[in-house]
Structure 1
Amino acid sequence: MLKSIYDKRQYKYLHLDNGMRIFLVEDANCTKSACSITINSGHFNDDNDCHGQSHLLEHMLFLGNKRYPKANELLDFLSAHGGHINAQTGTEYTSFFLDCPQEIESQATAHLYHMLVDPLFNEVLIDKETNAIDAEFKLKQKDEIRRLYQVHKETCNPLHPFSKFSVGNKQTFSAFSIKQLKSKLARLHSAFYQPQNCCMCWISSSPIADRAHLITQLFCQWQNSHNLPHHKLPPLYLAENLATKISIKPLQHAKRLILTFALPNPRIHFRSKPLSILSHLLGDEGADSLLDYLKNKGWASNLSAGGGIEGSNFKDFNINIQLTDTGVSHTTNIISALFNFIHVIREKGLEPWRFEEISTLNRQMWDFSEVAKPIDEALQLSEAMFEYSEAYLLAGDYILDEIKPELSLQLLTYFTPENMRVKFIHPEVKTNKIAKWYETRFAVEKLHQEETSQYLDKTLANQFVLPQPNQFLVNSPTLKPIDNNFAVPKPIVNEQGLHLWYGQDNTFKLPKGDCFLTFDCQAINQGIEIASSKRLWIALLNEKLNKRYYQAELAGMNFHFYPHQGGFSLQTNGFSDNQLTFCTKLLTQIILHEDFTQSFAEIKKRQILGLSNALLNKPINLLFSRLAVLMQQHSYLPLDMADTMQHLTPNDVYQTKQKLLGEFHLEGLMYGNWTEDQAQEVSHTIREFRQSHPVCSKVNRGVADIRNKTVVTHQVTCHHPDPAIVMYFQAPDASVKNVALTILLEQLVAAPFFNDMRTERQLGYLVGCGYIPYNQYPGIAFYIQSPHSSASGLINAVHDYLQTLYHSIDSYSRKWDSVKKAVIRQFSEKDVNLNMKSQRFWMGIGNQDYNFNQTNRMAKTIGELGLSELKAFLQQLLDKQGFGEIIVHSGELDEVSSDMSIAIDDPTLFKGSHSYKREL
């Protein structure tokens, strides 16, 4: 098995006699064990008369088996120990993935085995789960991606299983009795859920030999029932599905052109990656690129190349273009520009150095990649086991050791008008069809010969130049000598208006680092005008910087320039060579006067559109967004910001930048592969910059004080028909004890609340609770979105649940120690990667935890708490003793089960009538 020379993990690939393949990873730094099992079966295998069948089967496996008959028993078991489980059904794969503490691996493995092998298919629960899937369908019925996806399904070969409705809903399932559904589920399970059709990946710090013995003993009992069904897939597109224009009317005010070329799946050429070079060239954002030309013409604002659906016998190559208002009427010119650029690629040829550059970039991504969360990596590897042989399982996504330009040029022959599908997405298109399920309005027409001949006019070819060699690419990243005195960051500049910290990683030992600079600006206290103008300034500057430093991003050196409540921040990360110089160069360019006049109107329009589209978000997302506005002093309603932005001019933006830099406090951290001398040198540059501007203290990031007996309610207008609620309880204070109690309450109730509200009461698909701190002040939120219950009914259900919980909380005594242990483990977990470690230190600095021991103090406090203290804490919450309660809802309220409540219609009035404090 090929693996990176920097990879210190141990691996074992097992082939059981029953055909099951198991990949074991031993990682000494793994903080949580993770497992994923993937079955080579997805919605392509649904019966033709029962769409959504595989999705329903995935859900039913959670709801009891012969060994563990209780619904969601594995979910409850994992949750009590700080673990998680989820699943996903795709076109050709279904995966179940979990993480858990290392000490309960054997129990989790047993649960997972019986869940896959011996499902009960309880008829009562089948009936309930069809309702849950229907609620899931309705929840996402206005999701733009799903609406476009359905049009795609209806405009391909109807005999290809891609055309099936993958989610399912009440209508698709109600055609059958519950007994018939049970029979269908059992047949599908028997046909495809067999060990010969299954791959597993386990990542853990436990010894491979021990896990191999445990898993082999268990899964070798799983027997194949019969040969796997095999059906040859028809082509995804027929002749009539190509050379077409599909006009689609979105719900949001989107303007997009998606050009799709139908290709054979190039998976067998993974060692030469022939599409990588085409994505790289067509998606380039530098000078004289296709995007640069379209931007200069005022036709497009963004372009990506290379995405698209793919499966075992098909691959779409998409060029996705975000149009301007002017570009909407120039789609023929835009497509012609694309074919001119393709002509340039053919004429210039593909020099070997271009592949070598991509090979170097891929190699560095592999050698020095930030370690993913174990659960994410396990999922990726369990699916990859079907795509790559054992030898290339780890290397397959990265390796480019066979340079074959002819393969790329051969695939380029498919990039013709005859093999193209044009999707034109715009609110004002004319339509004559309505897609099933999602009611997307669309129209389909063949591309005319006259139009396609215009596409192939080569008069624009001299406008384009293929990218030059990447000047930011470091061929041999180097590691600096480690000074353990700076393993934890230390202040290297501590003066009025400027605090800089430096630290050197001694754990991951990668040639990478993270640099953070945050500006707290006194002008932010002036209100929404400054906040809106600041947002526009940052968008305008990012547009210029993204073009200027596109190659830096490709070379693994990234920047993030973004607004926050107190001002704005600049972050760079990636390879450390030249990064500090890069960061100071960006800092210099932030203060330079840039000419935004050419791009101003378009970017302003985009920002206003993005803010205006906020109302089209899913109800729960909209409610949480509104709650954040209400609770945080310097947060504003998106529509109010859009209105404020309407009248802004380039001069207003320039003046805002001057005001922001007029008085500011600057704080920063350099953490990674740098020496103290390098950090001191950069600090000198930053000090000179700081000393040329007036100083101020840090901006107060106030949080609303809602602690009283009155429940605040606020209704949010929402275009989605489902009622939804978010009930937020603000803790009495921000002491370590109250933070610990809030987190413990959430950890204790998360799984039972989900099971009660979703599985038992069937209130909705989107149900849960979470620990939500605003500006480090603790609180807990309960949320439900329901297709059939009123907002008042949902509020009463949560209150009833909390009352019931209080009276039954003593029964949780047997779980109490495991819950505490799980939370302590979360606080004590090692950092998974360098970026996570840097972020942890940066958060500590932001929270004024300069000794970086907040997690230790929290773990100690949690360990000392008894269940009786949590019960008293819950009693205080129910009695409103020191707690605050705010309910944000969509849908009308009949009555609220509360002694006292006050409805707030205008968020501005709410913010004006409540005090916002840093410390409550």
Structure 2
Amino acid sequence: MMKSPLRWSLLCLLVVLTACGAKPDNNIVLPQTDSRDVRYLRLDNDLQVVLISDPSIDKAAAALDINVGSRHDPRDRQGLAHFLEHMLFLGTEKYPDAGEYQSFISSHGGSHNAYTSFEHTNYFFDIGAAHLDEALDRFAQFFSAPLFNAEFVGREVNAVNSEYQARIQNDYRRALDVFKELANSDHPFTKFTVGNLSTLLGGRGEEALRQDLLDFYEDHYSANRMGLVVIGRENLDELQAMVVDRFSEIENRKLSDSEIKVPLVEETPLRFELKPRREMRELSVSFELPDVRAQYHKKPLNYLGHLLGHEGEGSLLYVLKKNGWAEGLRAGAGFQYHGGSVFNISIELTPAGMAAVDTVTDMVFEAIALIQSEGVAQWRFQELTDIARLQFDFRTRPSEIHEVSQLANNLHYFSPSDLIRGDYAMTDFDPDLIQDLVNAMTPDKAIIAITRPELEGEKTSELYNVSYKVTPPTAAELERWKVRAGVAGLALPKPNPFIASDLSIKSGEGSEVPRQVVSTGRIGVWHMLDKRFSLPKGNLNVLIRSPSASSDATRQAAAELWVRMVRDELNAFAYSAQLAGLDYSLQARWDGIGLELRGFNDKQGMLLDSLASRLANPEWDEVRFLRVKMDYIRDLENQRHADPYRYLSSALSQQLQRFRFTTEQRLQAVQSLGMKEVKAYSREVMSATQLYLMAHGNYSESDARQFARVAADFLLGDRVPDAQPEQVRRIPEGNFGESYSLEHNDSALLWYLQAPNPGHRARIVMGIAGQMIGPAFFNELRTRDQLGYVVYGGAYPVREVPALYFVVQSPVTDTADLQKRFRAFLDNWQESGIDEQTYERNRKALRVKLLEQPRNLWEAGDQFWRDLMDGYTSFNSREQLVDVLDQMGFDTWKRELLAILEEDSRRSLWLQAGGARGEKNLGVQKLDGPGQVGRKRQFFLYEHPPLKH
């Protein structure tokens, strides 16, 4: 269509004017499958900007990363950078309302967040693509004209303190707390990143804190230390016009950072032990190394992490597992900063491994010595180069909000052309650099941390109350670590057989949705050749349906042990496949066993054959079984140490869905299970099965049929299993609930409010309400009332059963008070929070969410498989919901919602964890209490999709 002369001339003038405020560069290297338009700019104020134009997206997104973090906190205001992150959201000169930004983002189908780390503060959001311009107008104001209103200082200090309290039992933070006490006090790493009432206020008052906050903002927030990334539907010139004027207003104070030159640890070797909250045992061996991030084309620490963290035959983990000493191992660069880095080897030990921790430590140094002597090889580096190249060329694009956040951070480390490629660039083999780094990993430079629950420490850390003690290695131990005696079976990795070589795209006509190509009553196969993403990759999903898989807690525990046995047996074999971009998952489900393969399709058949054969015929090894059983028991026991709000969310699923058994039920069941019982159980399950298989991606129909033949050879039983529908509990009218005793000081309350009838109509009614309620609930109970860091609410559908739910974890009040506030909020919202304008805005936002297209092949596959498992064999669940949404007017919605929320007929489930304040009387009954059984139909039933039409 021809543009009018006036419009065309104005557009040309706009481009010329905006270009005056920026220096463009369009040379960013993209993956071969990425057709988006990308532009790099450096504004006149020295702010780096990347613009990405993608007309196909449903969500636009933006992120701004500032090279400022907790290292810059004043010693007497630790947590100040994090506190600033909180305060920045609470109003600007142009948009002074503290809740306006969140409300705008949420009501237009988006989300937002931020994080503070040692050297970075990162702010990001996504939103319905049509509203990017308005969102950027609000976002830019944070960095040019924030208010930092005095009235919010006290509230946000409490919010930061609540965040600290909510994570005070997190074992990662607890271990970090101990290490910071032992590290060099002159190193900024030792500062407290999160902050609390003591470190932020320190008895000096809110006015003084606000002044220090303003000073910190002036001293550290500068355009030349910022990177901005924006993804939108608009073309690059239009995106540039949105950005240049707004973000050019950010002041360039021409700030720079100095390199940290003091050592992280003054004297090594350092060894210390600490007591965790959870049932866990871990050995960590770390080394302080130079900062090599600028040499990202060489990636020497990635190379070393690959060799030490390998899990294949001959690896350190493989040998430790054979001895029954370890469950897992991680190796690689952890903490990296301007001036240094820490390379870490962490081993998850069994009780037997902890008893042999001195020998395990010796083996770590043996593995390092093996690399020092023969591990630096060109062919090994080239193998990683080939894998990285494939990962980049066929990159799985993340969600927009995650992509902008990561790329904004990358702007500080990679050249503009390598903004996306930098994470994958591994092209320059530098054997001398690798050798120098591994040679520096000597016993006398080691930092050794031992985590064990049996410890009785001599000291207690100040911030997280961790019991610990320092146990310096003796001269004899140090000498032993230096002597190399060799370890039987320890070897460097062999060549990887799973690296894809056939990257061709299958010929043939693609389809919009999967279609069933096999329908026998025993086996159902769905196939879709995906031409939208057109990648040499695919999703292969298999459900081995057997209703006896988890009809009681004992069977569910046995299923979990069986599956874990198989995963453990296959780990050494499948690890190379995972490295090469071919991953799998094997899970025990309520209705059988779920198997998924995803990644490059070239070698999937080889992996499927191994998985299916091992699942049908595991190696029933008693030593492996006992180790796997102890690991499962430990995982169940550790669920008691989960954050209360997470525990309650998991408990809600168990309360609502039949054949989901509680942690306590499964823990009791697993104790009595031996290998003989689990083996018999697996044979029973496999005797009566049906197979559901979906091949979506770069597969021909003959590929899908061949996959089905392989699966059937191993996994199809002799009999057709009995029908067993999924059952979702129907909550009766009234107040029901459950209390949980957890080892956490915070109280937590979850309110689940179910609609009386299932179906699309009720789901839309509750979905719009949830869209509206979420921001209002957060603003009132979190921002205004400061009840806790964890506050959220919204819609909670389970299959076709809709509901609303509200959750708060609080360090300042009990569950009875929370219940009053939940009810008061909902009553007030019904009276004053419902109006047609707000309804219409949130109705449109929900429509955007429902019609949001998958961003990558994996999201598309997940949607198709979820639809199939939910019985939508036409794969149109979202379209059906949108049809109902489009026909629902405000008056109808309001009438039907208020009928559901009528106080006298509410169907409420209250789940509480009392914390230090104890369990409170919430006036509830247990769901299965007297008089409930048989009063009404207790469950909504959902059948599996038929395999034969």
TM-score grouping bracket, smaller chain normalisation: over 0.9
2:180 to 134, 153, 157: 153
For residue 326 of structure 1, give the secondary structure of its aligned residue in structure 2.
helix
2:774 to 750, 755, 759: 750
The gaps in structure 1 that reach 5 residues or longer are: none
State the 1:806 CA deviation: 1.1
Partner residue, 1:207: 235
Counterparts in 2 of 1:351-390, with a 5 A limit? 351-390=377-416
State the 1:307 CA deviation: 4.1
Task: Pick which of 608-617 and 474-483 moved more.
Answer: 474-483
- CA–CA distance in 2 between the matches of 1:713 and 1:130? 33
- CA–CA distance in 1 between the matches of 2:254 and 2:854? 45
Counterparts in 2 of 1:600-639, with a 5 A limit? 600-639=625-664
Counterparts in 2 of 1:201-280, with a 5 A limit? 201-224=229-252, 226-228=253-255, 230-240=257-267, 242-280=268-306
Partner residue, 2:90: 63
1:94 to 121, 125, 128: 121
Residue 503 (structure 1) aligned with residue 528 (structure 2) = yes
1:772 to 796, 814, 818: 796
- CA–CA distance in 2 between the matches of 1:614 and 1:677? 44
* Residue deviations 1:654-691 (CA, integer Å, cap 9, x gap): 01101111222221101110111222233334445566
- CA–CA distance in 1 between the matches of 2:375 and 2:551? 56
Partner residue, 1:866: 889
State the 1:60 CA deviation: 0.6
2:727 to 680, 702, 714: 702
Task: Please tell me the residue identity of whatever aligns with 2:870.
Answer: N
Task: Please tell me the residue identity of whatever aligns with 1:917.
Answer: F
Partner residue, 2:686: 661
Task: Please tell me the residue identity of whatever aligns with 2:296.
Answer: F
CA contact (8 A) 1:714 1:905 kept: no
State the 1:773 CA deviation: 2.4
- CA–CA distance in 1 between the matches of 2:170 and 2:654? 24
- How many pairs does the alignment contain? 912
Task: Please tell me the residue identity of whatever aligns with 2:886.
Answer: G
- CA–CA distance in 1 between the matches of 2:657 and 2:466? 37
Partner residue, 1:429: 455
State the 1:857 CA deviation: 1.5
CA contact (8 A) 2:688 2:716 kept: no
Partner residue, 2:563: 538
For residue 113 of structure 2, give the secondary structure of its aligned residue in structure 1.
strand
Task: Please tell me the residue identity of whatever aligns with 1:860.
Answer: D
Partner residue, 1:564: 589
* Residue deviations 1:215-242 (CA, integer Å, cap 9, x gap): 1122223333x442644424242432x2
State the 1:844 CA deviation: 1.1
- CA–CA distance in 1 between the matches of 2:903 and 2:590? 29
Task: Please tell me the residue identity of whatever aligns with 1:131.
Answer: N
Task: Please tell me the residue identity of whatever aligns with 1:890.
Answer: A
- CA–CA distance in 2 between the matches of 1:267 and 1:706? 55
- CA–CA distance in 1 between the matches of 2:135 and 2:832? 27
State the 1:403 CA deviation: 1.2
* Residue deviations 1:333-367 (CA, integer Å, cap 9, x gap): 11211222222222224221111100000011111
CA contact (8 A) 2:616 2:715 kept: no
- CA–CA distance in 1 between the matches of 2:190 and 2:928? 45
CA contact (8 A) 1:489 1:671 kept: yes
Residue 650 (structure 1) aligned with residue 675 (structure 2) = yes
CA contact (8 A) 2:727 2:939 kept: yes
- CA–CA distance in 1 between the matches of 2:200 and 2:498? 56
State the 1:868 CA deviation: 2.4
State the 1:457 CA deviation: 2.7
CA contact (8 A) 2:33 2:395 kept: no
State the 1:736 CA deviation: 0.7
Task: Please tell me the residue identity of whatever aligns with 1:252.
Answer: R
Cα distance change on mapping 1:703 and 1:447 into 2, 3 Å: same
Cα distance change on mapping 1:552 and 1:66 into 2, 3 Å: same
2:807 to 783, 803, 817: 783
State the 1:882 CA deviation: 6.3
Cα distance change on mapping 1:912 and 1:663 into 2, 3 Å: farther
Residue 40 (structure 1) aligned with residue 67 (structure 2) = yes
Task: Pick which of 305-314 and 910-919 moved more.
Answer: 910-919
Partner residue, 1:113: 140
State the 1:413 CA deviation: 1.1
Counterparts in 2 of 1:73-84, with a 5 A limit? 73-84=100-111
- CA–CA distance in 1 between the matches of 2:142 and 2:127? 16
State the 1:91 CA deviation: 0.8
Task: Pick which of 790-799 and 330-339 moved more.
Answer: 330-339
2:211 to 183, 200, 207: 183
* Residue deviations 1:237-256 (CA, integer Å, cap 9, x gap): 2432x201110111111110
CA contact (8 A) 2:62 2:124 kept: yes
Task: Please tell me the residue identity of whatever aligns with 2:627.
Answer: E
For residue 469 of structure 1, give the secondary structure of its aligned residue in structure 2.
coil
Task: Please tell me the residue identity of whatever aligns with 1:362.
Answer: A
* Residue deviations 1:311-330 (CA, integer Å, cap 9, x gap): 11121111110111111122
Partner residue, 1:289: 315
State the 1:779 CA deviation: 1.7
CA contact (8 A) 1:499 1:667 kept: yes
Cα distance change on mapping 1:272 and 1:638 into 2, 3 Å: same
Cα distance change on mapping 1:919 and 1:583 into 2, 3 Å: closer
Partner residue, 1:304: 330
CA contact (8 A) 1:515 1:583 kept: no
Task: Pick which of 759-768 and 679-688 moved more.
Answer: 679-688
- CA–CA distance in 1 between the matches of 2:324 and 2:254? 58
Residue 554 (structure 1) aligned with residue 582 (structure 2) = no
* Residue deviations 1:84-124 (CA, integer Å, cap 9, x gap): 11111111111110011222111111101112221112112
- CA–CA distance in 1 between the matches of 2:321 and 2:401? 40
Cα distance change on mapping 1:634 and 1:425 into 2, 3 Å: same
Cα distance change on mapping 1:684 and 1:81 into 2, 3 Å: same
CA contact (8 A) 2:747 2:814 kept: yes
Partner residue, 1:676: 701
* Residue deviations 1:288-312 (CA, integer Å, cap 9, x gap): 1111111122221211111421111
CA contact (8 A) 1:771 1:779 kept: yes
Counterparts in 2 of 1:166-181, with a 5 A limit? 166-175=193-202, 176-181=204-209
1:840 to 841, 860, 863: 863
* Residue deviations 1:251-307 (CA, integer Å, cap 9, x gap): 111110011011111112211111222111111111111111111222212111114
Task: Please tell me the residue identity of whatever aligns with 2:96.
Answer: P
State the 1:331 CA deviation: 1.7
CA contact (8 A) 1:482 1:506 kept: no
TM-score by length of 1: 0.96
Task: Please tell me the residue identity of whatever aligns with 2:849.
Answer: Q
For residue 514 of structure 1, give the secondary structure of its aligned residue in structure 2.
strand
CA contact (8 A) 2:750 2:807 kept: yes
Cα distance change on mapping 1:917 and 1:120 into 2, 3 Å: same
Task: Please tell me the residue identity of whatever aligns with 2:215.
Answer: R
RMSD in angstroms over aligned alpha carbons? 2.1
Partner residue, 1:332: 358
TM-score by length of 2: 0.93
The gaps in structure 2 that reach 5 residues or longer are: 1-27, 944-949
Task: Please tell me the residue identity of whatever aligns with 2:211.
Answer: S
Task: Pick which of 525-534 and 145-154 moved more.
Answer: 525-534
Counterparts in 2 of 1:427-506, with a 5 A limit? 427-461=453-487, 463-484=489-510, 486-506=511-531
Residue 762 (structure 1) aligned with residue 789 (structure 2) = no
CA contact (8 A) 2:90 2:98 kept: yes
CA contact (8 A) 1:102 1:206 kept: no
Partner residue, 2:6: none
